[in-house]
Amino acid sequence: MSVLVFAESHDNTFKKPALESVFFGKKTAEKLGTQCVALVLGNAENPGQLGKYGADKVIHLSDASLANFDSQVYSSVIAQVAQATGSNVVVLAHSSNGKALTGRLAVKMNAACVSGVNALPETNGGFTISKSVYSGKATVHYALNAENKIISIMGNSLSPQIIGNDCPVESVAVNIPAAKVKVVNVDRVVGQVPLPEAEKVVSGGRGLKGPENWGIVEELAQVLGATTACSRPVADADWRPHHEHVGQTGIAIRPNLYIAIGISGAIQHLAGVNNSKVIVVINKDPEAPFFKGADYGVCGDLFEVVPKLTEALKKFKAQH
């Protein structure tokens, strides 16, 4: 018995979701009194570094064909490694690739599966786990009643800590099926942390009046080291790219800090952001519904408030 973590690598490196998954896997393994094995597929620099976040051992399969993501191939390989390592709990990130794998793996391994969890399982007398549902309006606790279990974790659920040293890296023999899905192009914004992984997010709404005014949002984001986001009408009007759209029909995020600028706070917007740890709302309308869901509010004209906030942050950064 052990806990197997699929640790995604992109462009040879491990991003935060991979480290979170390993740390989550280790904490789960400790609860179950077993070890944590991390699985790395494709190229990755020094996979043994996952030991720092809790992996007792890494299985690295660097076959060139694994550079191409195909859920059928990946789920087959992960299931084979789970079998070879005697793992009956598999942990993944609730990422775009993770979401394509969780359900497949559950069927393949005849496992009980819960995706998008936000806390460690309870393992006293059974195995239960919770997730946020109904746009953050409830939390559900599930009991997983099968020998095999698959869990995918929401970003920023548990902050990964360094708790060990580099660990041994091994390989196991697997049969890699031929891919049917061929990746022909990857178009990713460079420079910014992708929204689902971002710890700080600065988001703009229709209150900004037009795309030409986004400079103040970007400057604030830059000073904070934050990723930019937007409300749906802003993306629909092509003021901002679609991958910035957060909310019910966009991306769901849970950063530590979410700053909403000129966003009214409609329920469909809140659905994607109300799991943020701290919410700051800047809006000129004291009746804006977003103030009810905020931790800190500034009622004023964003075109004056935002540059002032940026200046205050620059001053703060110079002193700290």
Ligand X SMILES: Cc1cc2nc3c(=O)[nH]c(=O)nc-3n(C[C@H](O)[C@H](O)[C@H](O)COP(=O)(O)OP(=O)(O)OC[C@H]3O[C@@H](n4cnc5c(N)ncnc54)[C@H](O)[C@@H]3O)c2cc1C
Binding to other proteins by residue 303, rule CB under 8 A?
no
Q: Which of 67, 162, 183, 237 binds other proteins (CB under 8 A)?
A: 183
DSSP 70: -
> What is the per-residue binding string for ligand X in 270-299, x denoting contact by CB under 6 A?
--x----------xxx--x-----------
Whole-number Å distance between alpha carbons of 65 and 177: 10
Binding mask 246-275 toward ligand X (x if CB under 6 A, else -) reads: -xxxx-----------xxx-x-xx--x---
One-letter amino acid at 75 equals S
Least distance from ligand X to the Cβ atom of residue 154, Å: 17
Stretch that binds other proteins, among 41-49, 80-88, 142-150, 206-214 (CB under 8 A): 142-150
Per partner kind, with CB cut-offs from 5 to 8 A, the member of other proteins, ligand X, none near residue 12 is none
**Does 301 help bind other proteins (rule: CB under 8 A)?**
yes
291 binds, among other proteins, ligand X, none (CB under 5 to 8 A by kind): other proteins
Which pairs from 157-161 meet CB under 8 Å and 24+ separation? Answer: 157/20, 157/24, 157/117, 157/118, 157/119, 157/254, 158/20, 158/23, 158/24, 158/27, 158/119, 158/120, 159/20, 160/16, 160/19, 160/20, 160/22, 160/23, 160/53, 161/23, 161/53
Among residues 17 and 51, whose Cβ is nearest to other proteins?
17
One residue of 116, 160, 204, 265 binding other proteins per CB under 8 A = 116
How far CA 189 is from CA of 56, 91, 228, in Å, comes to 34, 27, 12
If one asks whether residue 246 binds other proteins (CB under 8 A), the answer comes out as: no
**Spatial distance between the Cα atoms of 88 and 274, rounded to a whole number of angstroms:** 33
With binding defined as CB under 8 A, does residue 180 bind other proteins?
Answer: yes
Q: Which pair of tokens denotes residue 177?
A: 């099926």
Using an 8 Å Cβ cutoff, are 263 and 163 in contact? no
Chain residues that interact with ligand X, rule: CB under 6 A = 205-207, 231-234, 247-250, 262-264, 266, 268-269, 272, 283-285, 288, 301-303
